[in-house]
Each structure stands twice: as structure tokens, then as C-alpha cells.
Structure 1
Amino acid sequence: MAQTKSASLILLLMLCIGKTACLSGSMRGWLTTGDQRNLLRQLSTIHASTGGGRGVHINIDRTRRYQTMEGFGAALTSSAAYVIHNSPEYDEIVNELFSPYAGIGISYIRLPMGASDIQAEAPYTYADTAWDFNLDHFSIDKDRHFIIPVIKKALRVNPSLKIMGTPWTAPAWMKTSNRLQGGQLKRDANINDAYAKYFLKFIQEYQREGINITAVTVQNEPLNGNDQYPTMEMSWQQESEFVKHHLGPVFRSNNIKTKILLYDHNWDNTDYANNILDDHDTSQYVSGVAWHCYGGDKNAPLQVHNRHPNVDMYFSECSGGTWASDFSGNLMWNAETLFIAQPRAWTKTVLLWNLALDENHGPHVQTNGGCKTCRGALTVQSRGGYTKEVEFYLIGHLSKFVKPGAVRIDSNTGQNINTVAFQNSDGSVAVLVQNSDSNSKDVTVQVDNDNSRSYIYNMPGHAIATFLL
């Protein structure tokens, strides 16, 4: 008899993990409102009712399946790592950010490869010794000050954490400007070979620390030549040639499984990625395209996906700051434009800029330019204590409930109610719902048009909720 019950439970579990079975008779929800009275607050359980429901109908169709999600999070810049590592609440902050149980379970971070525009120490790369073509002096020692310790601690609470590495610049001696700021990668085969080896050694040295790099982007903001902080311009032609003749072959010959992502810049230029991907000799090495929010149409990833459906899309950067201080306005814009619209445009990640910064939006090295008004997901006070910003709650509404490996599934949107839905590998369904109207609205959540189980909730105005079925 016990064996029969066990066999039945196994069969039931297999059906639940499939596409068509095993939702519970209740729905749980977590709510954040623009007035900050509710901040990722768990709601009372919502029990199913029969009939057609009322208000705005949200139907989730598990048979219409899209991309597999990889994760949600933000960037661990030098400054972010510094404030986390040096906080009296170090362990607590790591748990708040990365623990799937005690915190919001951030599942993906972006890591500058050396210097960026938000820097707690003097800008550096891993190969600052000039004309070292063999990279004999390559070193990640400066990352060991606080970046690597924070990553290791995060991995202890969330071993499945994924990491995207991104260079803001090549070493100065490889560039036309001969400095970390501005300029381009020199058009010299030996330089390009050395720079490809730079990526290889970065991945290998981090592996020796027990840290796997999931993906790298070829260049952060390759159309940004700002000479006040580390940058490097790279035309689509140059990026294509670098991947085709140097980076891709080096990864392949060394059996590197780290994904290569293109572009890593704003929505306002789809030609950059399309032009590269049109060349099969380059695209054979490319896994995806990364996007930023600072210009253009939020549907740009969808446009590139439609032209190159076998190439994955990633959303990799957007920052809040003092220029946008209204909690409700930030909640609404980010929910609609990033956390809902980007997965609906086929991105596999939604990553914001800094995980954490101090009360002065830093710390900043005085000699380094860059954003002095950006906001982290956490504000960590120099003398202890921290504040959860609107970005923390936005990330949490997906990272806590949509697990890596979840598949985006179909859900309708309209009447100022925006949605995106996912099915986790355990069969559970998570749907993020935004009410962008100032007035509350009744919403009815159904799965696969099942009128026998309708979940009705009165959604406050200017609010987001994640429902788990």
C-alpha cells in the first residue's frame, strides 16, 4: 500500500512539473504600493471561487511558452562591494539581497571587469603592465579586497547565483587613447589577441576562486566615449571582428562555456546587434545581446529577437537616482518598462545598476568621473544601518518568486493592468501584476481559462503585486 501511495505521489509530481496540472486551490500574493504602506507585504491567502470573476480578467496560458529565465538582480560595482563588505551589517545585507529564504533571492549579478564609472578605489584593469602581450602580470588581486569576498559570501547563501562580467575598458596600453578614459581598442592583431586572452584569464582566475562567470559582454556601452571615466568606444564592425577573429576562437579552443553577449548599450540602436548577427562567421560564437534603458524604445529587444530568434536577449542595466526621487513614480515606471516589458520583449534577465551605495551615492574616487547621483537598491549608511530603496522591492517581486529555469508563459494585459507570468520548474505559476491607475481595480486571475477557479483581488492604485499559484 505504501508503495502504491509513493508511486501515485511521483506521478502527481510529474504532472505538476508538466504544463497542465496541479495548481492549488488558493493563491498567495505579495504587495507593494506607491504610498509605501505595503512593501513586499504578504497578503492573506486568496481562495478560489467558481464563476467568471469580476473586474479586469488576467488569463494565464501555460500552453503558450516563451524564453527560459536566467535571473534578476543588479551590479556589484567596486563601490557596491565596498559598502556591503565594510558594513557592520555585512552578513545581514548579504542575506537580504541573496538568500532565497531570508531575503529576496537575487539570482544574477553584473560584475565590472576592473574599473567602471562608480569606483571605490583608483581605476584599474587586470593587466596594467604595458606591452605585456602574454599577460604574465595579469592579476585579479585588487578584486580580492572586497569584491571576491562579497561574491563568495553571496554564493554561500545562493549557490545558483549567476554572474555577467563586463569591461568598461581594455588596459590603457591596448587603446588609442593610452589611458583608461575614452579611446578605442587598437587595430593591431597582437593587441586584439592579448585582449581576447584578457577575457580568458579573467574567467580562469575567477574559476580558481570557485566563482563561475556565466556570461561576458564584449564592451559596456560601446558607443559611449566619455573621457571623464573609464570607457572604450567600439563600433559594430570592430566588435564583430574582435569576436570573429579573436574572442570567439580563444573561447572555443580553450573549451570556455561562458556566453558571449553583444552590444550592452541602449534600446535606441538595434542596427548594432543586427549588423553583427547577420554575419554567421561572428554569430556562431554569440549567445545573446544585452540592453540598457537610457534611450530608445523598450521593445527594442523584441525587434532584434524577431530578426534573430535563436539569439537570446538580456537586460543588463538601468539606474535610479536623485533625479527621480518619487517612490510611486519610480515603482510604476520600473515595473511597466523594465520588470514587465523586458521579459515580454524576450529578455532572460532584468538587471539594475548598483546593488548598494552609501548615503552620498558612492563612495567615489575623486579622480574618477561617472554618476554622482545614482541610487543603489540598498543605501548603506557609512556608520551602520541601511535602507531598502524602491529598486530593492522591484527586484524582489520577481527574484523571490521566479526561479532560474522558469519559463515565461502567456498572460494578457490592458486597462492599466500590466502583467508578466512565469512557470517555475516545480509547476508553480508566478505572475507580476501592475495597476498603473490611481484607483483600485478588481482583478480576476485565471489559469488556462479555468472558470471553476477564479482568484479575485481588489488591486490598489499605483501598486504592484506578485501572485503565486
Structure 2
Amino acid sequence: MKPFPLARSLSVALATLLAGALVGCGAMPAPTTAPTPPPRPKPTFWVTSPTESSRSLQVEATAAAAAPGGTADVRVDPTQVHQVWWGTGAAMTDSSVELLEDRPGLLKALYDPAAAKGAHLNMLRLPLSATDFSRTPWTWSWDSVSATPTPEARRAIALVKSGVLPLRPSLRVVGAAWSAPASLKSGSSVRGGALVPGDETSYADLLVAQARWLSRHGLPLWATSLGNEPGHSSDYPSMTMTDAQMSALGTAVGPRLDALGTRLWAVDHNWYDRDRVDAVLAGSAGFDGAAFHCYAGQPGQMAGLGVPRMVTECTGTTDGAVGTFGWDAKNLVADSINAGSSGLMMWNLALDPSHGPVDPATRGGCGQCRGVLTVTPTGAIREPEFYTLAHLSRAASPGAHVVSVTGPPWLSVAAFRNPDGTFGVFGQSRSSVTQTVRLAVGSRAGRTYEVRPGEMFSYRAPLPTGGA
């Protein structure tokens, strides 16, 4: 039978009072309102022209009509998921330290994720010895027990901690030494030579000690290699190592770095050195990935590895923006990503107009390398490599996944599925005429944007609701 109306009302009131009392005692959570979800980001299209300075990381509106070249479809398939994306960056060489100190605006242009015209970098390569972009040769002090950074090393570490980390608290620092201390080298010199056979244990202990010191002092290494370009010896800080030495070092160093949360990457030399990578990985299970440079070979030589990989060094020289945009977009982005690359780091963050400053005694270094920024007495020039990194950073956040994408043959393109629920596209046109590019997910209708000859672009938009 139905309950008496008054008795039911009293029952409800009593239950309400009891619930309130329990909430007040902390025994029962108070009812809460579901938080309002953040607004979905708006689709945004950035474009940079290699010839028109006014079109540099410019945000463009949707195209109203087809351009003379017609409309080309770029279709992203977010269901076809590939490697994780780590990010973008460049090296804090001694030359870069000297030029970026006391210039917080330039560090913001490189690393501030909120800078409208910034590069939005999230990785940094930290040399653990002098390089060909150092005024003097140096290595960390090493007494077979403790590793101590020299003043040059401390200067770079201080700048990263005070100038970069506040902009990028989740900065991924990647270490690399160009040379072991002279006592471990043939010729007993930091300049050139090889790691002495039999000194692998001491060098392994040094590498681990460096990582521990950095971690204790607030700058943990996200990853490191055994040494920069182990197949190259010159009159600047450099050091060769055999495949057997690197395999032995991997076994000795890898597990101890794992305990520190530091990844160990194999070889750190050119695409051409894929055979060396295979041999070193076959000789040791201590490696978590492989590192490649762009100076010899082809990006496709990275494909098929059983470990993650990325491009850790490439530099611009004297080519103009038109040629650089085309080469970078094809080789460092589209082809490298298709071969499994999970990130891209250029060489020097900053150099001066004379491609320095450097040690005047160095003859074998790169006399025509340019930085991501060229720093002048009155300001700085954003070089073409700056825009390659900036567009890639806008399309892909750290932790994104590379996904499949199709486009016309004149377009170098890569696509990503980002952790924030967006998808991103990087592209560069090799067409000689203005094109309308339509960017879409799967078979859905896409937005159209105008891309002029040679232009680089990036696009970021929410994945369709209810889609992949």
C-alpha cells in the first residue's frame, strides 16, 4: 500500500538532516557539482614564408576560395598510431651560453611556451665537455671516484637552471661528452684521439658520476649518449670509440643510469652509421635508444630499429630560407619521422654573425655553422632552423603520438595525436604556385588554408567529437 503522505515527508526530512550531520562530521562527502570542462581549443593555422618577413608564424584565417593551384587534401588518420613524440630542442654550447647570458628575452623566444612568435622548445642538449664551439678545451674533473664540473660546465648548468627551467619546468635535458678527460685518451689530450683500451671502466664510472651530480644539483639528465660522434677525431675536443668499447660501456653504464631515470642512447653519429648502431645494440642490452646526426647518409637508414631513435644534431650553414625550409621539412621532419624518429634537436642554440665565438686554435671545427638564433650586438635573427622547430613544436606536444597522414607529393607532411585531445599537422610546400590545402581527419570535411610557394605551416585542432 502507499505510505501516508505526512509520514513519507517526515522520513525524507529526517534522512536529509542525517546526511547533513554526517557531512559536517566528515563521514560523508558533500554533493559536488561536476567541474566545467575546459573550452575546446579553436583550430589554428600558422604559416611562415621563406621570402616574406611579414608572414612569420602568422596565424591565418580559413581560405574563402580555391587558389590558382587548386585544392589539395591532407587527411589525418588518428587511428593509425606510431611512435611517441619527445619534442624539439638544440644544444647549449659554450658559444651559446656566452651569447644567451643576460638576455632573458632570447631564452623566452626559444623556450617560453606562451611566446606568440617563439620556438616553443622543450629539449636541451647539454655538452658534458668542451666542443668545437668552446673558447678553451675542458672536461669535468675526475679522480676515479668523484666528478666535478669545471667553471665552464657550471656556467652552462647555471644558465639552464636559472634561465630555461623557469620557462620549461618539464625540460628534457640530453647529455653528451665530446671527449673523456685527457688521462683516458690516446695522446693524453682532450683534442682528438681515442678512448684508451682498458679505460672503459673508468670512463663508465665518470659518465654515471656526472649524471648523479647533475641529478643531485637539480638538473637530472632525461637521456644521454656515451659520447658525441664516436667515429670522428679532430683538433678540437673529440674522441673515437670502437663498437666493442661502446657495447662494453653500454653494459656497464645502462643499468646504473636506469636507476637514475636516465635513458642511454647508442652511437650518436650520422644516419650513415646505421651498421655501427646495429653492432653496438647487438653487443649490449644496456641501451634504451639510438641517436643520429644528419651530416651523412639518409634518414631512412634509421628505420626498422628495435629501439626508439631521434635526430640529436643537425645544423644550418649558409643556405637561404627557401632551400633550408625544403631540406629540413623533407629530411629532418617528414622522412625522419617516417623512419621512426621521436624528436629533433638542432646544433647550437645561438651563435654570432661570425659563426662563433670559438677557440682560435681550432681549425677542424665548423666554420660555417649557424645557430638557431644569430645574436648581433643589437638583437637576434631567427634563422630558418628556428622556424622548422617552431612549426614542429606547434603541431606536436611532448607525449604526442605520430599518426598516419596522406597528402600531395609536393608537400612534406607529418601528423600527430596530442595528449590534450587535439591533432596537429606540420607541412611545407614545394609547389611553385599558391595552393589551397584542406586539412581534415579521416573522411570528415576539412578546413582550407592558403599556402604560398615554399611556405612552412603547422595546424592544430580538436579531434572530432565522437571520432577516433
Structure 2 length-normalised TM: 0.85
Ranges in structure 1 where 5+ consecutive residues have no aligned partner: 14-21
Count residues with an aligned counterpart.
Answer: 424
Q: Deviations over 1:166-215 (max 9, x none)?
A: 11111111012211122211111xx3222112112211222233112100
Number of the residue aligned with 1:292: 293
Q: 1:48, 1:455 within 8 Å by CA — same for their partners in 2?
A: no
Of 128, 133, 139, the residue aligned with 2:144 is 133
The ranges of structure 1 where at least 4 consecutive aligned residues each deviate by more than 4 angstroms after the TM superposition are 45-49
Aligned residues with identical type, % of pairs:
29
Shift of 1:41: 1.0
Q: 1:111, 1:165 within 8 Å by CA — same for their partners in 2?
A: yes
Given the alignment of the two structures, is residue 97 of structure 1 paired with residue 114 of structure 2, yes or no? no
Query: Given residue 196 of structure 2, which amino acid in structure 1 is its aligned partner?
Result: K
Given the alignment of the two structures, is residue 84 of structure 1 paired with residue 100 of structure 2, yes or no? yes
For residues 264 and 194 of structure 2, the distance between their equivalents in structure 1, rounded to whole angstroms, comes to 20
For residues 312 and 415 of structure 1, the distance between their equivalents in structure 2, rounded to whole angstroms, comes to 27
Number of the residue aligned with 2:60: 43
Number of the residue aligned with 2:237: 230
Query: Given residue 320 of structure 1, which amino acid in structure 2 is its aligned partner?
Result: G
For residues 109 and 51 of structure 2, the distance between their equivalents in structure 1, rounded to whole angstroms, comes to 22
Number of the residue aligned with 2:333: 339
> 1:175–1:388: structure 2 CA closer, same or farther, 3 Å change rule?
same
Q: 1:32, 1:41 within 8 Å by CA — same for their partners in 2?
A: yes
Q: 1:126, 1:140 within 8 Å by CA — same for their partners in 2?
A: yes
Larger radius of gyration: 2
> 1:456–1:249: structure 2 CA closer, same or farther, 3 Å change rule?
closer
Number of the residue aligned with 1:355: 349
Given the alignment of the two structures, is residue 172 of structure 1 paired with residue 179 of structure 2, yes or no? no
Of 215, 224, 228, the residue aligned with 1:220 is 228
Q: 1:61, 1:449 within 8 Å by CA — same for their partners in 2?
A: no
Q: Within 5 Å, which residues of 2 pair with 1:23-42?
A: 27-37=43-53, 38-42=55-59
For residues 400 and 432 of structure 1, the distance between their equivalents in structure 2, rounded to whole angstroms, comes to 8
Structure 1 length-normalised TM: 0.85
For residues 249 and 465 of structure 1, the distance between their equivalents in structure 2, rounded to whole angstroms, comes to 41
For residues 446 and 461 of structure 1, the distance between their equivalents in structure 2, rounded to whole angstroms, comes to 21
Of 453, 458, 466, the residue aligned with 2:458 is 466
Of 363, 370, 379, the residue aligned with 1:375 is 370
Q: Within 5 Å, which residues of 2 pair with 1:270-419?
A: 270-279=274-283, 282-283=284-285, 285-303=286-304, 305=305, 308=306, 311-322=307-318, 324=319, 326-369=320-363, 370-381=365-376, 383-419=377-413
Q: 1:28, 1:45 within 8 Å by CA — same for their partners in 2?
A: no
Given the alignment of the two structures, is residue 239 of structure 1 paired with residue 254 of structure 2, yes or no? no
Given the alignment of the two structures, is residue 142 of structure 1 paired with residue 135 of structure 2, yes or no? no
Q: Which has the higher contact order (CA 8 A, sep 6+)?
A: 1
Shift of 1:33: 1.4
Of 194, 197, 206, the residue aligned with 2:205 is 197
Of 259, 262, 269, the residue aligned with 1:265 is 269
After the TM superposition, which of the residue ranges 154-163 and 195-204 deviates more from structure 2? 195-204
For residues 292 and 76 of structure 1, the distance between their equivalents in structure 2, rounded to whole angstroms, comes to 17
Number of the residue aligned with 2:192: 182
Number of the residue aligned with 2:21: none
> 1:181–1:428: structure 2 CA closer, same or farther, 3 Å change rule?
same
Number of the residue aligned with 2:6: none
For residues 441 and 145 of structure 1, the distance between their equivalents in structure 2, rounded to whole angstroms, comes to 48
Query: Given residue 75 of structure 1, which amino acid in structure 2 is its aligned partner?
Result: A
SS of 1:321's partner is: coil
> 1:288–1:388: structure 2 CA closer, same or farther, 3 Å change rule?
same
> 1:276–1:144: structure 2 CA closer, same or farther, 3 Å change rule?
closer
SS of 2:253's partner is: helix
For residues 396 and 63 of structure 1, the distance between their equivalents in structure 2, rounded to whole angstroms, comes to 26
Q: Deviations over 1:345-401 (max 9, x none)?
A: 2111101111101121111121234112210011111x3311111111111001234
Q: 1:197, 1:250 within 8 Å by CA — same for their partners in 2?
A: no
SS of 1:434's partner is: strand
Ranges in structure 2 where 5+ consecutive residues have no aligned partner: 1-30, 462-468
Q: What is the alpha-carbon root mean square deviation over aligned residues?
A: 2.3
Shift of 1:340: 2.3
Query: Given residue 215 of structure 2, which amino acid in structure 1 is its aligned partner?
Result: Q
Shift of 1:151: 4.1
Query: Given residue 460 of structure 2, which amino acid in structure 1 is its aligned partner?
Result: L
Q: Within 5 Å, which residues of 2 pair with 1:146-161?
A: 146-161=156-171
For residues 418 and 23 of structure 1, the distance between their equivalents in structure 2, rounded to whole angstroms, comes to 28
